[in-house]
Structure formats: C-alpha cells, structure tokens
Amino acid sequence: MEKMIFINLPVRNIQASTEFYQAIGCTKNDQYSDERSSSMVWSETITFQLMTHDYFSTFTPKKVSDARQSCGMLIALNKPLRSDVDQMVESAGKAGGKPDARPVMDHGWMYNRTFEDLDGHMFEIIWMDAKAAEEAMK
C-alpha cells in the first residue's frame, strides 16, 4: 500500500467547508463522509478530513484551536503550472476564503501564494521549476 496522508481539520460548518474544498479542486468521498465529517480527496495520497469541532474533539484531549487566531500548521501543496497557483488561490477567494493571507513570493524558479479556508486554516500553493531551483542553489 502506498503511503498516504490524512489531514484532519476542525470546521464550523461541514456543508460550507465541503463546498469550499470542492471549489479548490477536492472531490468528496461519500463513503467516509456523514453529517459530522467530509472526506475531501486532494490526490491519490492526500485527503482532508473535515470534522465538526465536537467530532474533532473526540480525537484529542487538547482544546480545539481557532485557526483564525493562531497558526498551528501551514499546509503546502504543489501545482504543476505557475498559472495553476493563481487559479487555485482565486478559486479559494471566490468560494469565501481569504486569498493572499501573506505577500506573494516570487523567486522566478519558485512561485508561492497563500490562502485561508473558511475556518482560517492556512495553505501555501507552490509552483517550482526544479532545474532552475538547482541552478539557483549553486
């Protein structure tokens, strides 16, 4: 079995968050979704498991943090084309997220933009030219 990652995220509104994640390119897996959670597939190896705060709290003894107030992690995803970065961030904004939560980073060989989802979880969307990156690091 291939290694996979499941990113569990607490959300305030399952329906609205499900629609947001569909807008940025995820597909809902109904087999692992119900009124408390939505399984949102990003790729064959990455899935975002959106959970109500009450349900999420059953998986941890810690207080569920408010991602709008503090940042506990930054989720970075790559895209194959530079224009795909712009498209994803624009889609996030149109779906109610906060585009460009920090200034755009453009190093020529690497292009990076950010957005926050409806609950404030922060994402970095990255395009990189591997060959140009190698040259830049020399």
Task: Dump pLDDT digits (tens) for 84-95.
Answer: 999 999 999 999
Average pLDDT of span 58-79: 94
User: What is the token pair recorded at 114?
Assistant: 């950010």
Residue pointed to by tokens 């922060």: 122
Judged against a pLDDT cut of 80, whether residue 1 lies above it is answered with no
> Side by side, which strands form the sheet with 46-52?
5-11, 46-52, 37-41, 27-29
66-138 and 1-64 share a CATH fold: yes
Question: Contact, 117 vs 123, CB < 8 A?
Answer: yes
CATH top-level class of 66-138: alpha beta
CATH number for the domain whose boundaries are 1-64:
3.10.180.10
| All structural domains of the chain with their residue ranges | 1-64, 66-138
Does the reported pTM lie above 0.75? yes
pLDDT tens-digit map of 73-123: 999 999 999 999 999 999 999 999 999 999 999 999 999 999 999 999 999
How does strand 122-128 pair with strand 74-78? parallel
